Structure 1
């Protein structure tokens, strides 16, 4: 495919996303309909789509549109201007590129500031939290997210994994901030096919999550409940450094569909329980809560989250977070820990949620809390450690 044809394909995918599809299914659907596209074409098209979605507000403005008005064509036009790519090298490059610009489309527009990439109501919350640092944070969130691996140190060492991956065409380097973390420089799409991955020597896991999991107090023995387990990534990180008994639960059990295979690869022993069964269990020494949240810390990986969120959905999430925290109280042993986690940048879901919990449950103390974001780690992430008195 020519460069112009790749942009035309991105326009088609963006139109599907704007019509209601999520990005990955839209990209897959386009790929199924375009068997002629090679792997490099698909990667380039995906990059164009995600570059638009991460910079959607500015791309729309540079095309002379508001975000609700902008079509896929307008957003690609705005992206080209934002990235200082010659528009004439793309538009009008027929037969496979997008058609030439109309006189109206050819009009130039001033470049807005990076704040325009975030809806106004969310911007107000973030300004109150980050103040003058907000523009730098949003600039970091507008870039492509790095890929990180967590080394399973029960099975191998970072040095051995780096060498094994290199033989498979994946170039990874150690991150000086954490001994288990490797940043993938090239070959990220080959990771799951490598012998190191299939043998459970590494798992894909964001650096912020790895840093949080390394910092939380995890007992070497006892009982740990991962209450919002999902695909089990945090349980796998715990199992790599603890011999405690692991129990996994999720409100939607299908989310745990990949756990068995991942656990087999990594050598993790665990059990699963439904919520009603937990009432008949001995209370747990640690209850880990990776609660549903706005996902505002993951905007560069899932940029549509920024535009799907509303004040009403945020309020509903806060209510669910409070309910999960209250449920954890009944499952936590005396002197036990509740570890509360979100992938959110919003104080309302982080510090405010913890303070509200402590007001409702004065029998708990806050031992520590920490927030990560792309300026000091990778994605936005928060954790708090709460101990029963």
Structure 2
């Protein structure tokens, strides 16, 4: 592909990504994969170059752009090499006309910037939310040690905060590696590892991962429990939960029971665990503002109305989780969001509704203290953004 053809391909992809963001369609990564699946003529260098153009445009645009061309013109304004490809030659984009619309720059739509600022994030920490994320792994302690993995993966380095984390160069083909196939490592951001460890899982405990998804934190809990005890992984999303059993088998995590829940009937489907769990982990559905480095177009999908629906879901899952915890047991609430509406405010409201419950310190301490919990953010800690709080049930 010529440089112009690469720019035109990026514009076409950006049009699809903008439309999907507006309609709740597929994520950018999925759309890019589909695009090149039907264009076999594009080599690996072409695919990589187009992908870089697409994500440069997404990260640069705060509010959702009116079109893919508007997004790419904003990139061209800063990059003369990209601007030169707008010459109309071959398969390249048409020349730039006077006064064509450009995507508006910034971190996010205005209402979200206001919400982040009100949540205590200054401009520098907001800007870091759309930087490129590192590639982190968690070593499976059921099967090996971090030192042993680093001996076989010398290009990696120990993460600075998580004791089982390894950071690799971006672009490393992890899932095709022998170490991954053998279940020795899992892809997991360092921040996710830190908040997942806040439940302080021990062998022999009865634990519930209430919003398990595909099971990243479930596998982390199973390893910390040394495959001793009971571990229930639940979710209402069949497609995501179905990914857990093969992952557990690969990792040698034998104590996990998966349970698909019907929305609105979670409590009755978990009646056999009511008041019995030593600990419940709630990695609640949220806006994902802390993961924009990985999914920057998610900024365009979030609306005040969707945020309100997510907050209602968070309140519901906390109530369900509280019903599973035994007297004196613990519940850890996590959101990969930096909005106080989903983090500290939710915990404060939960404590007001549940007399006798208390927030207690997370040991060892992680991140920065924030209200009744702790917070991690990309600029300060080099991780994805998270809020986490540990809540103790009355005895």
Task: Please say if residues 278 and 330 of structure 2, whose CA atoms lie closer than 8 Å, have aligned partners that are also in contact.
Answer: yes
Kindly state the Cα deviation for residue 244 of structure 1 after the two structures are TM-superposed.
2.9
Task: Please say if residues 373 and 381 of structure 1, whose CA atoms lie closer than 8 Å, have aligned partners that are also in contact.
Answer: yes
- Give yes or no for the alignment of 1:297 onto 2:290: yes
Q: What is the TM-score of this pair, normalised by structure 2? A: 0.87
Give every structure 1 segment of 4 or more consecutive aligned residues whose post-TM-superposition deviation is greater than 3 Å. Answer: 84-88, 274-277
- Which runs of structure 2 are paired with 1:1-389 in the superposition (5 Å)? 1-20=1-20, 21-22=25-26, 23-57=28-62, 67=63, 70-82=66-78, 84-92=79-87, 94-105=89-100, 116-130=106-120, 133-165=121-153, 171-188=155-172, 190-242=173-225, 243-269=228-254, 270-273=256-259, 274=261, 275=266, 276-281=268-273, 283-368=276-361, 369-375=373-379, 376-389=381-394
Task: Please say if residues 198 and 390 of structure 2, whose CA atoms lie closer than 8 Å, have aligned partners that are also in contact.
Answer: no
Kindly state the Cα deviation for residue 180 of structure 1 after the two structures are TM-superposed.
0.9
Task: Please say if residues 141 and 299 of structure 1, whose CA atoms lie closer than 8 Å, have aligned partners that are also in contact.
Answer: yes
Kindly state the Cα deviation for residue 122 of structure 1 after the two structures are TM-superposed.
1.3
Kindly state the Cα deviation for residue 158 of structure 1 after the two structures are TM-superposed.
1.8
Q: What is the TM-score of this pair, normalised by structure 1? A: 0.89
Task: Please say if residues 161 and 190 of structure 2, whose CA atoms lie closer than 8 Å, have aligned partners that are also in contact.
Answer: no
Change over 3 Å in CA distance of 1:18–1:52 after alignment to 2: same
Task: Please say if residues 294 and 314 of structure 1, whose CA atoms lie closer than 8 Å, have aligned partners that are also in contact.
Answer: yes
Segment drifting more, 356-365 vs 89-98: 89-98
Deviations 1:319-362 (A, max 9, x none): 11111111112111011111111000100110000000000001
CA distance, structure 1, for counterparts of residue 387 and residue 291 of structure 2: 12
CA distance, structure 1, for counterparts of residue 241 and residue 378 of structure 2: 28
SS in 1 for 2:326: strand
Tell me the equivalent position of 1:63: none
SS in 2 for 1:348: coil
Gaps of 5+ in 1: 58-66
CA distance, structure 2, for counterparts of residue 159 and residue 231 of structure 1: 27
CA distance, structure 1, for counterparts of residue 291 and residue 207 of structure 2: 26
Deviations 1:31-88 (A, max 9, x none): 122110112221221222122112213xxxxxxxxx5663111211101323x33344
Kindly state the Cα deviation for residue 103 of structure 1 after the two structures are TM-superposed.
3.0
SS in 1 for 2:175: helix
Deviations 1:173-193 (A, max 9, x none): 1123222111111542x1101
CA distance, structure 2, for counterparts of residue 32 and residue 233 of structure 1: 28
CA distance, structure 1, for counterparts of residue 109 and residue 83 of structure 2: 31
Change over 3 Å in CA distance of 1:341–1:304 after alignment to 2: same
Task: Please say if residues 148 and 206 of structure 1, whose CA atoms lie closer than 8 Å, have aligned partners that are also in contact.
Answer: yes
CA distance, structure 2, for counterparts of residue 163 and residue 355 of structure 1: 45
Change over 3 Å in CA distance of 1:324–1:45 after alignment to 2: same
Deviations 1:155-210 (A, max 9, x none): 112232123335xxxx321123222111111542x110111001110000011111
SS in 1 for 2:273: coil
Question: Matched residue pairs, number?
Answer: 367
Q: Calculate the aligned-residue CA RMSD, in Å.
A: 2.0
